[in-house]
Structure formats: C-alpha cells, structure tokens
Structure 1
C-alpha cells in the first residue's frame, strides 16, 4: 500500500485533500481527479497535494480513507469490535428502523459521497493496491451487520449479515446511480423492505419486541 505523507504541523491538510478529492470524483469522475485539480479546487499552493500523496494510488487512498471516516459517522452506533453494543436494537423492528434511517439518509444527504465511493469501487477492480484498502474499509460495516442478525437469533449470522448489507447496498445504488434514481424509495418503504428481508431470512427465530405490560 502506498502511504501518504503526514505533516505534524498541518494535521488538517490530508482532510482537506481528501474532502476535495471526493468532491472532484463526484463532479468530474475518475479522470478529473488529478493532483493539480485538487490543488486548484482546494485553494492550495501548486504541488501541495503531490507532497502529501506522491502517486495517483496514494491520492486515491487519501480519498478512500477520508470517505471511510465519513461513512463511519453514518453507521457509528453499529461499529462494534466483535459484539453488539447494548444501545443497538435486538429485535427485527428495531434493526429495520435503524437500518432504514441509515439507508434513507445515504440516499438523500449522502448521495454525492456515495457516487464518489462507486467511482473508487470500480477503480479498485483495476488496481490491486486499492482493492485491499477498499475491502478493508468495509469490514467494520459487515461485522456490525453480522452482530445485529446474530442478536436477532440468526442461525447463520455470517451469511445473513452479508445479505443484509447487500440488500442495503443494492437499494442505495439503485436510488443514487441506477435506474431508480428519479423515484427513490421512502424511508417507510425501506424500513418495510428490511423488515421483510429479516423476517424471511430468520423465520421463527427472529426476535420480536417484548410486549408491553398493562402497567407500562
């Protein structure tokens, strides 16, 4: 992996370069992302981006690293290292509600960011150096999905978690870059779809909310 240079006196420079690179990927595509373009768009002196990311792969890694941080903020409650946080829901309706919020916000507020990620995903199919970093960035999200379905009682959490992620990714792609972009699904429709998916996968093992007692 190519490593971008870090400067202790300018810790915010890589963030600026990363944010600018993401914006350029959205506006101009992969061909429009160059060191010079980042310098100009970010208002940096000529050669600044090359100092921090000497190669094109290094520049792509800076963009991907920044995107991973931004996306982690979307899914922060579910980013647990190996276990399900107590704050996360432990029933189908609760998981569907939380996941629907994440997907719905990604389609609307996070649309540009996802377009940049799709550009990087395609580039990763052609650059082995980027492939490992791209795949590694998604590990935490997949582990969180596995933990959630395991908490719901899944007998095959690895497989069910993978398909939960795939379903959500598919809905986002269709609504952002696919044929469904003009009519994105509502949050309610997304929530219903996720609940149906979970119920279909888990069957009788799916955990439902505890009924409230008359005194609650």
Structure 2
C-alpha cells in the first residue's frame, strides 16, 4: 500500500521527514547530512545549517516522528471510557490499523531510532520523553476506565501494540497484516481481561 506523504510547511519539517524516510529505507548508516540534502532536493549544506551535528539531526527526527504518529493515530484525545468498552476498543483498533496499513515507514524509522537510543544517552532521554506523551494518557485512560492496576494494564496494552506493530512491520506477519475487525477482536479481548464487564452503553461484547 502506498505510504501517505506528510504535509510539509517548512524546511525543518522537510529535513526531518527526509531523515525518517532514509532511516526506513537505508537504516542508521544511511542517514547523513549529505544524504538528506540529496534526497530532499536541497542545496548542499542545508541540513547541516539546520542540524549542526548528527545528534541534532536524530533529535529532529524523533520530534517529527512523534508529531506525525500523534496525527496519524488520531489519539491526541483518548477515547472516553464513559462511552463504553466498544468505543474504546474501536478507537484503539482503528489507530493501530492506520499505523500498520499506511505508515510502515514510520514504524521502521522508529525501530532504528529506538535501537540508536540504547547507545546514545542524550537520544534516550528525548526518545523516552516522547514516549511518555502516549504512555501517560493511556495510564489516565485505564484509570478512568476502572482499571485496578492502571500502570500495569497500560504497560500490557502498550506491549501488545508494540508486538503487533513489530510483527506486522518487520516480523513474521509483515505480509499478513490483520484487518481492522481482527484488531478490534484482539484489543477487545485484552481490555475485557483487564477491566471485566462494565455496565452502561457499549459494554457488550466486542468483535
């Protein structure tokens, strides 16, 4: 499936988007200032003027990745548990389906950056801070949904998400991406095991 091209409004975004594309296509070794200039069609030295060091270029890539993933997932505002388990399940499954079917390049770039963060303490700090932008709202969501252990349940949900994304982007299921209904079933099973049956609208079985 063709990858959606992000809307670009500035040269810094173009540079960061190109860096992410190079990470997905060539890996960490293929990311250089000159390579970004060439791939982006910019005059030589443009990327160096924006991000003087490799560390600065990696930081720009992480920050842009976070912004694009937040927009793509559509979870800037978490679902409201008051709407019921079905609504929560549907929103989370839809976000995952978008990631798996239209943004494999972002997933591959993220894995490259995550591995590099294990070797660069300064990048680790930036990467972890970015991750908290999704983790903390998810903990709040599980708390509001009545979880008896929101931190642990958020971790389990994130681990399930991460496992699905890796398996379908770079693992054994890269050619067998589940459809949205299958993802709904998986998310629903996980949420029901954590939260149990809840009264009110949308609390019935999810498929």
Query: Does TM, scored on the shorter chain, surpass 0.5?
Result: yes
Choose which of 173, 186, 207 in structure 1 pairs with 2:198.
Answer: 207
8 Å contact from structure 2 (residues 73, 99) kept in 1: no
Choose which of 145, 155, 164 in structure 2 pairs with 1:152.
Answer: 145
Report the CA distance shift for 1:118/1:209 in structure 2 as closer, same or farther (over 3 A). farther
2:42 counterpart SS class: coil
Query: Where does residue 13 of structure 1 map in the other structure?
Result: 11
8 Å contact from structure 1 (residues 150, 157) kept in 2: yes
Between the aligned partners of 1:211 and 1:163, the Cα distance in structure 2 is 23
Query: Where does residue 27 of structure 2 map in the other structure?
Result: 29
Query: Where does residue 64 of structure 1 map in the other structure?
Result: 62
Deviation at 1:42, TM superposition (A): 0.8
Tell me if 1:103 matches 2:101. Answer: no
Q: How does 1:101-140 map to 2 (within 5 A)?
A: 101-140=94-133
Structure 1 runs of 4+ off > 4 angstroms? none
Report the CA distance shift for 1:72/1:211 in structure 2 as closer, same or farther (over 3 A). closer
Q: How many residues align?
A: 194
Report the CA distance shift for 1:102/1:76 in structure 2 as closer, same or farther (over 3 A). closer
Query: Where does residue 4 of structure 1 map in the other structure?
Result: none
Between the aligned partners of 1:155 and 1:167, the Cα distance in structure 2 is 19
Normalised by the length of structure 1, the TM-score is: 0.84
Deviation at 1:52, TM superposition (A): 1.0
Normalised by the length of structure 2, the TM-score is: 0.87
- Structure 1's unaligned 5+ residue stretches are 1-10
Question: What is the aligned-residue RMSD (CA, Å)?
Answer: 1.8
Between the aligned partners of 1:50 and 1:182, the Cα distance in structure 2 is 38
Structure index of larger Rg: 1
Between the aligned partners of 1:129 and 1:211, the Cα distance in structure 2 is 44
1:207 counterpart SS class: coil
Q: Could you give the per-residue CA deviations for residues 74-132 of structure 1, whole angstroms, max 9, x where no partner exists?
A: 344444xxxx6xx6343222111100000011001111111111110111111111001
8 Å contact from structure 1 (residues 39, 47) kept in 2: yes
